Amino acid sequence: MNIAVCICQVPDLPSAVAVVDGSLDLSRVAWVMNPYDEYALEEALRLKERFPGSAVIALAAAPEAGKELLLKALAMGADRAVEVCSSTLQDSFQTAWVLAEAIGNIYGQELPDLVLCGRESLDLQNASVPAMLAGMLGMPFAGSVTALRADGESLEMEREGDDGLETLEALYPLVISAEKGLNIPRKTGIRQVMEARKKPLEIVQASALPDPLVRFAGAEPVSLKKACRFVETPSELAGLLYRGGFFKTAQE
Amino acid sequence: MAHYLVFLEQRGGCISKVSVDTWNRVQQQAAQEGESVSGFVGGPLKPTALGELYGNGTIYHAQDEALSLPSETLLCRILSALVAEEGCTGIVIGATAAGRRLAPYLAETLHASLLGGCAGGSLHSELCRRYIYSGLVLAAYRPEASIRIFLQGREQSRRSFFSTDRPHCVSFDASPFFVPHENLLIRSVTSGNSRKSIAESAIIVAGGRGMGGKDQFVLLEELASLLGGSVGASRSAVDEGWRPHSDQIGQTGKAVAPDLYIACGISGAVQHLAGLSSARTVVAVNSDPHAPVFDAADYGIVGDVREVIPAFIGAVKEVLQKK
Ligand SMILES: Cc1cc2nc3c(=O)[nH]c(=O)nc-3n(C[C@H](O)[C@H](O)[C@H](O)COP(=O)(O)OP(=O)(O)OC[C@H]3O[C@@H](n4cnc5c(N)ncnc54)[C@H](O)[C@@H]3O)c2cc1C
Ligand SMILES: Nc1ncnc2c1ncn2[C@@H]1O[C@H](COP(=O)(O)O)[C@@H](O)[C@H]1O
């Protein structure tokens, strides 16, 4: 089974992100693999272990070399890692486009059987790249999957819908986005990291990008601080909230 | 002139609350600018299903049973055809789990600008402002495409509509959009519970590690049902196995938008607060007077949840009875 996993990196601590004159300053940020992408990669590795002859390729689109990210993917067990370099990616559409192009170049006419992504990138929380990538590759898309059972022909998946647990059935090829709960990603040690350095890590250049559908137009810092009024007793609080009109639902 | 298509999500024959709010809100905004609105809903409906929808325009209803549980792929085919036929320039989708999966798929198909979670939720503003980096940065995005897709959460649409007009419903033939061997199907939904989803609740009582154990959440259940709200949790409470993951609020859980949020035994980590940017009033109960949650709260009580919550339940019952 041929599996491509799309991975990206996010700030370890969001508080290290600064805003200077309306632009983002990420110079103090320490980067980690997006947690949802760890679920995606772990699931790919489990499938590879179950289906002999499978290959897992980790893919990252990044403006500059995020080699640590790719090494981490290789250390976890990916067979090959590819970083697609391009100028700053403006939106999810451009990101998906770069990934789709790379998948086309790597796999040719025979698309991978599965493309696994994270549900969303924790920093920007677009939750858009996987679905857009599916559209571009002409594959169906199963989002926010929390359980996956695969055999050679078909897949059965679960996810949390708005109404309860949904069960899905699908055939290959398919794009899946991984939700928390899908698995517990493996840890990597020194030995795996050493081995990773021997595996193929390629950096390729993306061709000219299409126009973005959405453009970043500035940012401002946010303070979550409120002036907290400390209340002495629970009954004082109940009185305040009652007068604030919060108990209407209770009276209906 | 703008023409909007509102995707109405159906659950068990009724229009979901988020979709009702979204429809009414779009109607109101469109009316101010003299714009027009259509809607689409799939699956069998109860006779009263459209009763809360006001305003003008047409609602296309495809009755097919298969549309009660549509895949993203199928919905995308139907909606993009409708958009083309009607010449829509805006598509508005409620930010439910299903809506969030559908919107980017549709955006790619239509080459549309996807604007999700815009603060204020206006259809007419030039820029979409939304929170990123756990709510610590407010970024502005400019749509570049001629078609825009808006994903709207509940907070932006709670106002009820003033009009007494009613949209008219026409039936829609979805059969051309079904393919014989659909390669992605949603087979079943097992409603884990009939509880209201926390994403739709006006009042949320949430518990963290400070609750001390699974059993203590009974207190929060009691308070929530007294107030007509629902129970949420911090990641620590979920990781402890005290609550299901679907109750988790924050960066890796749900973003919520209640009128009232009561945080019990929650420290107020930035990742938790990330889910609260749209909460109107926040109350915190914590034994540590320096807990960061108080910095994000409107009202605070310093104390042990095991004492404060039962006393608060008693006090709420009292004020409700006095009325
Ligand atoms: C990438 C990432 C994503 C994350 N996503 C989320 C997320 O989506 N949601 C989330 O919630 N967290 C998330 N976290 C975790 C977050 O950083 C915190 O660890 C978590 O929110 C802490 O939960 P808590 O407040 O329940 O527990 P704690 O931080 O342990 O706080 C417990 C609080 O209870 C108080 N307390 C103890 N006993 C009592 C008592 N008897 N009465 C009253 N108060 C008491 C204590 O003073 C303390 O303030 C994420 C972390 C990371 C790194
Ligand atoms: N630059 C990128 N390179 C590779 N994969 C990405 C990139 N950005 C996003 N993804 C994938 O798309 C998922 C959702 O990201 P997003 O749509 O940005 O929230 C992530 O979890 C990744 O799997």
Instruction: Please provide the DSSP assignment of chain A as one string.
Output: -EEEEE--EEES-GGG-EEETTEEE-TTPPEEE-HHHHHHHHHHHHHHHHSTT-EEEEEEEESS--HHHHHHHHHHT-SEEEEEE-S---SHHHHHHHHHHHHHHHHTTS--SEEEEES--TTT----HHHHHHHHHT--EEEEEEEEEE-SSEEEEEEE-SSSEEEEEEESSEEEEE-TTS--PPP--HHHHHHHTTS-EEEEE--PPPPPSEEEEEEEE-------EE-S-HHHHHHHHHHTTTTHHHH-
Q: Do B280 and B132 share a structural domain? A: no
Question: Is residue B101 a contact partner of residue A164, using CB atoms and an 8 Å limit?
Answer: no
Q: Does A213 touch chain B (CB under 8 A)?
A: yes
Ligand 1 atom nearest B267 alpha carbon: 49
Percent of chain B with pLDDT over 90: 67
Q: What pLDDT score does A12 carry?
A: 86
Q: Residue B34, annotated ligand binder?
A: no
In order of A9, A18, A127, the CA distances from A21 in angstroms are 24, 10, 27
Q: Which domain holds residue B85?
A: 3-177
Q: What pLDDT score does B286 carry?
A: 98
Q: Do B161 and B223 share a structural domain? A: no
In a domain, A236, yes or no: no
In a domain, A231, yes or no: no
Question: Is residue A9 a contact partner of residue A28, using CB atoms and an 8 Å limit?
Answer: no
Say yes or no: ipTM exceeds 0.90.
no
The one-letter amino acid at A217 = A
Ligand 2 atom nearest B104 alpha carbon: 17
Question: Is residue A85 a contact partner of residue A146, using CB atoms and an 8 Å limit?
Answer: no
Tokens of A85: 């370099």
Å between B13 CA and nearest CA of chain A: 13
In a domain, A250, yes or no: no
| Distance from Cα A90 to the centre of ligand 2, integer Å | 13
Q: Do B171 and B214 share a structural domain? A: no
For residue B164, give the nearest of B56, B293, B63, B319 by alpha carbon.
B56
Angle (CA) A206 A210 A212, round 5°: 115
In a domain, A187, yes or no: yes
What tens digit of pLDDT does each residue of B56-79 get?
999 999 999 989 888 888 999 999
| Distance from Cα B244 to the centre of ligand 1, integer Å | 16
In a domain, B185, yes or no: no
CA dihedral B300, B302, B306, B312 (to 10 degrees): -40
For residue A59, give the nearest of A39, A83, A35 by alpha carbon.
A83
In a domain, B184, yes or no: no
Question: Is residue B306 a contact partner of residue B211, using CB atoms and an 8 Å limit?
Answer: no
Q: Do B81 and B226 share a structural domain? A: no
Tens place of pLDDT per residue across chain A (252 aa): 999 999 999 998 888 899 999 999 999 999 999 999 999 999 999 999 999 999 999 999 987 657 899 999 999 999 999 999 988 899 999 999 999 999 999 999 899 999 999 999 988 889 999 999 999 999 999 999 999 999 989 999 999 887 788 999 999 999 999 998 899 999 999 999 999 999 999 999 999 899 999 999 999 998 778 899 999 999 999 999 999 988 876 655
What tens digit of pLDDT does each residue of B241-284 get?
999 888 999 988 888 889 999 999 999 998 899 888 888 899 99
In a domain, A216, yes or no: no
Question: Is residue A234 a contact partner of residue B312, using CB atoms and an 8 Å limit?
Answer: yes
A-facing residues of B in 27-86 (CB < 8 A) are 69, 71-73, 76
Q: Do B170 and B38 share a structural domain? A: yes
Would you call B143 and A125 a contact, using CB atoms and an 8 Å cutoff? no
Q: How many domains does chain A have?
A: 1
| Ligand approaching nearest to the C-alpha of B248 | 1
Q: How many domains does chain B have?
A: 2
Q: How many CB atoms lie within 10 A of CB B21?
A: 23
Strands (E), chain B: 3-7, 10-11, 14-15, 36-42, 58-62, 90-94, 113-116, 128-132, 137-143, 148-152, 168-171, 184-190, 203-207, 230-233, 260-264, 281-286, 299-302
Q: Which residues pair with B302 in a beta bridge?
A: B286
Q: Do B227 and B153 share a structural domain? A: no
Selecting from A17, A166, A241 the residue whose C-beta is nearest the C-beta of B260 gives A241
Ligand 2 atom nearest A5 alpha carbon: 23
Report the alpha-carbon distance of residue A101 to residue A237 in Å, rounded.
Answer: 58
| Ligand approaching nearest to the C-alpha of B240 | 1
**Does residue B156 surpass a pLDDT of 50?**
no
In a domain, A69, yes or no: yes
Closest chain A residue to B274 measured between Cα atoms?
Answer: A224
In a domain, A79, yes or no: yes
The C-alpha R_g of chain B, in whole angstroms, comes to 21
Q: Do B265 and B145 share a structural domain? A: no
Alpha helices, DSSP H, located in B111-250: 217-227, 235-239
B306: which DSSP letter?
Answer: H
Q: What pLDDT score does A69 carry?
A: 94
In a domain, B198, yes or no: no
What mean pLDDT comes out for the span B169-193? 83
In a domain, B238, yes or no: yes
Q: Does B136 touch chain A (CB under 8 A)?
A: yes
Ligand 1 atom nearest B268 alpha carbon: 25
The response to whether residue B232 sits with its C-beta less than 6 Å from ligand 1 reads no
Q: Do B130 and B277 share a structural domain? A: no
For residue A73, give the nearest of A112, A104, A116, A111 by alpha carbon.
A116
Report the alpha-carbon distance of residue B87 to residue B81 in Å, rounded.
Answer: 10
Q: Does B273 touch chain A (CB under 8 A)?
A: yes
In a domain, A233, yes or no: no
| Protein residue closest via CA to atom 12 of ligand 2 | A129
Å between A106 CA and nearest CA of chain B: 22
Q: Give the CATH number of the domain where residue A201 resides.
A: 3.40.50.620
Query: Which of B162, B177, B192 lies at the terminal end of a domain, its last residue?
Result: B177
In order of A81, A82, A100, A191, A204, the CA distances from A201 in angstroms are 5, 6, 19, 18, 10
Report the alpha-carbon distance of residue A20 to residue A24 in Å, rounded.
Answer: 6
Q: Residue B208, annotated ligand binder?
A: no
In a domain, B105, yes or no: yes
Q: Do B118 and B23 share a structural domain? A: yes
Tokens of A25: 């300053």
Q: Do B222 and B169 share a structural domain? A: no
Q: What pLDDT score does A236 carry?
A: 96
Q: Give the CATH number of the domain where residue B259 resides.
A: 3.40.50.1220
Which residues of chain A neighbour B105 with C-beta distances below 8 Å?
131-132, 134-135, 141
| Distance from Cα B203 to the centre of ligand 1, integer Å | 20
Q: Which of A78-82, A169-173, B196-200, B285-289 has the lowest mean pLDDT?
A: B196-200
Q: What's the predicted TM-score (pTM) here?
A: 0.88
- A/B interface, count of CB pairs below 8 Å: 270
Q: What pLDDT score does B159 carry?
A: 56
Reported confidence tier of residue B117, pLDDT bands at 50, 70, 90: confident
Q: What pLDDT score does B157 carry?
A: 42
In a domain, B192, yes or no: no
In a domain, B143, yes or no: yes
Q: Which residues pair with A58 in a beta bridge?
A: A5, A81
Closest chain B residue to A155 measured between Cα atoms?
Answer: B184
| Distance from Cα B139 to the centre of ligand 1, integer Å | 26
In a domain, B195, yes or no: no
Q: Do B65 and B137 share a structural domain? A: yes
Report the alpha-carbon distance of residue A250 to residue A252 in Å, rounded.
Answer: 6
Q: Which domain holds residue A67?
A: 2-205
Q: How many CB atoms lie within 10 A of CB B304?
A: 13
Q: In what order do the strands lie in the sheet with B3-7?
A: B113-116, B148-152, B90-94, B3-7, B36-42, B58-62, B168-171
The one-letter amino acid at A233 = T
Q: For a pocket test of ligand 2, which of A5, A84, A129, A209 has the largest count of ligand atoms closer than 8 A to its C-beta?
A: A129
Q: Do B36 and B90 share a structural domain? A: yes
